[in-house]
Chains A and B, each alone.
Chain A
């Protein structure tokens, strides 16, 4: 199995209001094409871990490696460039830019990457929207879409650059069960059909149980890492 993400003894402290160790020597490896759920009680450090893994939080000890590249110690600008190319995001809220259409929102990360011509980027964006069943809404302003539709556009935006990893922070946390299932199915398809890797922080038990692997955290440590389908049976 090809490893896409690897950490070595990641440790992090919060200093406000007082010094507090939130992550304790986390060792984690993620394989390509894996759909991983990060679960645990509130305050166990799972979100914090995700932001460290996503390279946005650089204030930690230990080492982080994604797609064979060591990211610890890189500058903010290098990391921004890296995120643009290798990491896609899906948050609890869609965070689409309200002044732009759905299509434009999907195109922005690809235009930033500047690897394809504008027309190619547009074609690719259409393709991703089509994959998510949103091609009919491409020209609509993003703030005129429903919550589920917005989240699907946000997913399309997250995968436009074919990232190595998609990071999800409660991706279904703000959706009704119908849209939750829809998003879940999309994730499943992305991992199994398109070999995308997904790391999702979630509170949704069912969501976690149906993913490939569940990593459970407590008090800043990984307490279990089990193949979910086995746990389900």
Chain B
């Protein structure tokens, strides 16, 4: 073993250029893998986080657009019935017994927090112009538990909303469009035509234009007044779980229990999550291609080395080296190339990732980003080195086996 190691080392050192080229193949493969995986998973984590901040793990609401059996179906259930263009029944989006439901869900040990809210479409008046948006009536402290609102406040405090019954916390995008600041007043109009003047006590930024440009928070009682509804009028229940990956399993339970639609976050954000899957597929396919190319490079170089060393292999075998010893000599070479090449690749990958994470990037109105989000998770570095060494082992094995099987007599006879 020691002797094989020595011969392998001499072979590698006697052709430094060739060795370096073989190593660089692996280095670039792994380096690109690390940089790509870092950026892609960084983006994925970022979007997932955004998704989490904008939607609860489970959202219970009254889906009034849901298909319902037609009258004809009810009367003639066995026949073939065609009802053209059926419209939803006139219903309010009120959740019955919402507060009791909230207490029931709060007792579930899997649940971290529950917040009953009511939300409605409203118009924000900006002089003669009316901007479309939504207003959410919330218990701001409960809402904070679910979405960590406190960290997203750009001005004002959550407590100010509790203190001011006619207060409102507005998304930064919306505030900019309305040209208002904390302390200003804003006039809103409900679809029913009711008008109300509210005082802006703070602004928040979730990081998603979809939310920041349309949403404001107010107290539940205030929104009930605006909508001219009674005190039990609640339209939504937002639930946060201890383990968000259970959402898909728990949602149907709540749907059964409440009789209303319970939507989990994965369903609500399926477009976002499709993007994650596509990015993952891209990352891995490109990385694997890079590594396979590097593997072919090593295969080629080792094949060439072995071809050039036919005589050496023959004499080593004559002198008493077994096929296994010869295989060892060349396997050691490819593994050394793979290991050092991969290590250098991790280093280059780290520096590339670092450079990317410092590159300025404007997310625009849609998402608030000033730098690329990059993931430095050690897991991917471990995958990188394991994959790099494994590829070189496979690439080196075939030529090494050929060398070990070679018949020395044919070469020595000349």
In the complex, what residues of A have CB within 8 A of residue B409's CB? 51, 56-57
Q: Is A209 an interface residue (CB 8 A)?
A: no
With A95-B314, A95-B315, A99-B14 as contacts: A112 and B412 at CB distance below 8 Å: no
Q: Is the CB of A77 within 8 A of B324?
A: yes
With A95-B311, A95-B315, A99-B10 as contacts: A81 and B322 at CB distance below 8 Å: yes
A98 to B11, CA, bound (A): 10
With A91-B412, A95-B314 as contacts: A85 and B320 at CB distance below 8 Å: yes
Specify the chain A residue showing the minimal Cβ separation from B4.
A112
In the complex, what residues of B have CB within 8 A of residue A228's CB? none
Q: Is A164 an interface residue (CB 8 A)?
A: no
Least CB distance from A52 to B in Å reads 10
Q: Is B156 an interface residue (CB 8 A)?
A: no
Q: Is the CB of B413 within 8 A of A109?
A: no
Q: Is A169 an interface residue (CB 8 A)?
A: yes
With A57-B409, A97-B312, A99-B10 as contacts: A109 and B320 at CB distance below 8 Å: yes
Q: Is B3 an interface residue (CB 8 A)?
A: yes
Q: Is A100 an interface residue (CB 8 A)?
A: yes
Q: Is the CB of A89 within 8 A of B3?
A: no
A91 to B316, CA, bound (A): 13
A85 to B319, CA, bound (A): 9
In the complex, what residues of A have CB within 8 A of residue B6's CB? 111
Q: Is the CB of B3 within 8 A of A80?
A: no
Q: Is A108 an interface residue (CB 8 A)?
A: yes
Q: Is the CB of B412 within 8 A of A95?
A: yes
Q: Is B360 an interface residue (CB 8 A)?
A: no
Q: Is A84 an interface residue (CB 8 A)?
A: yes
| Cβ < 8 Å to A, chain B residues 301-334 | 311-312, 314-325
Q: Is B414 an interface residue (CB 8 A)?
A: yes
Q: Kindly state the interface size class of chain B when it binds its partner.
A: 20 to 34
Q: Is A24 an interface residue (CB 8 A)?
A: no
Q: Is the CB of A112 within 8 A of B14?
A: no
With A47-B413, A95-B311, A97-B312 as contacts: A109 and B319 at CB distance below 8 Å: yes
Q: Is A113 an interface residue (CB 8 A)?
A: yes
Number of A-B contacts (CB under 8 A): 73
With A99-B11, A100-B10, A112-B3 as contacts: A83 and B318 at CB distance below 8 Å: yes
Q: Is A92 an interface residue (CB 8 A)?
A: yes
A92 to B321, CA, bound (A): 20
In the complex, what residues of B have CB within 8 A of residue A157's CB? 319
Q: Is the CB of A169 within 8 A of B412?
A: yes
Q: Is A93 an interface residue (CB 8 A)?
A: yes
A126 to B191, CA, bound (A): 104
In the complex, what residues of B have CB within 8 A of residue A92's CB? 414
Specify the chain B residue showing the minimal Cβ separation from A83.
B320
With A95-B314, A100-B10 as contacts: A80 and B412 at CB distance below 8 Å: no
In the complex, what residues of B have CB within 8 A of residue A56's CB? 317-318, 408-409, 412
In the complex, what residues of B have CB within 8 A of residue A113's CB? 320
**SS of A interface (majority):** helix
Q: Is the CB of B319 within 8 A of A89?
A: yes
Q: Which of A80, A85, A91, A111 is within 8 Å of B317, CB to CB?
A: A80
A190 to B320, CA, bound (A): 22
Binary interface encoding of chain A residues 97-111 relative to chain B, with 1 for a CB under 8 A from any of its CBs, else 0: 111100000001101
Specify the chain A residue showing the minimal Cβ separation from B11.
A99
A47 to B410, CA, bound (A): 12
Q: Is the CB of A108 within 8 A of B414?
A: no
Q: Which of A47, A76, A85, A93 is within 8 Å of B322, CB to CB?
A: A76
Question: Which of B2, B318, B321 has most A Cβ within 10 Å?
Answer: B318
Specify the chain A residue showing the minimal Cβ separation from B12.
A99
With A56-B408, A93-B414 as contacts: A80 and B320 at CB distance below 8 Å: yes
Q: Is the CB of A112 within 8 A of B320?
A: yes
In the complex, what residues of B have CB within 8 A of residue A109's CB? 319-320
Least CB distance from A203 to B in Å reads 13
A157 to B315, CA, bound (A): 11
Q: Is the CB of A80 within 8 A of B315?
A: no
Q: Is the CB of B3 within 8 A of A108?
A: yes
In the complex, what residues of B have CB within 8 A of residue A93's CB? 311, 414
A54 to B413, CA, bound (A): 13
A138 to B324, CA, bound (A): 29
In the complex, what residues of B have CB within 8 A of residue A95's CB? 311-312, 314-315, 412
Least CB distance from A214 to B in Å reads 22
A172 to B275, CA, bound (A): 74
In the complex, what residues of B have CB within 8 A of residue A83's CB? 318-320
Least CB distance from B10 to A in Å reads 5
A47 to B409, CA, bound (A): 10
Q: Is the CB of A89 within 8 A of B318?
A: yes
Q: Is the CB of A77 within 8 A of B322?
A: yes
Least CB distance from B201 to A in Å reads 80
Least CB distance from A170 to B in Å reads 9
Q: Which of A81, A99, A100 is within 8 Å of B320, CB to CB?
A: A81
Q: Is the CB of B323 within 8 A of A112?
A: no
Specify the chain B residue showing the minimal Cβ separation from A82.
B320
In the complex, what residues of B have CB within 8 A of residue A57's CB? 409
Least CB distance from B240 to A in Å reads 66
| 6 A–B contacts from the bound complex (CB under 8 Å) | A56-B409, A89-B319, A95-B311, A97-B7, A169-B412, A169-B413
Interface of B toward A, CB cutoff 8 Å: 2-3, 6-7, 10-11, 14, 311-312, 314-325, 408-409, 412-414
The 6 closest A-B pairs by CB, nearest first: A84-B320, A99-B14, A95-B315, A80-B322, A77-B322, A83-B320
| Given pairs A47-B413, A54-B318, A112-B3, 6 additional interface contacts (CB within 8 A) | A85-B320, A92-B414, A95-B312, A95-B412, A111-B3, A113-B320
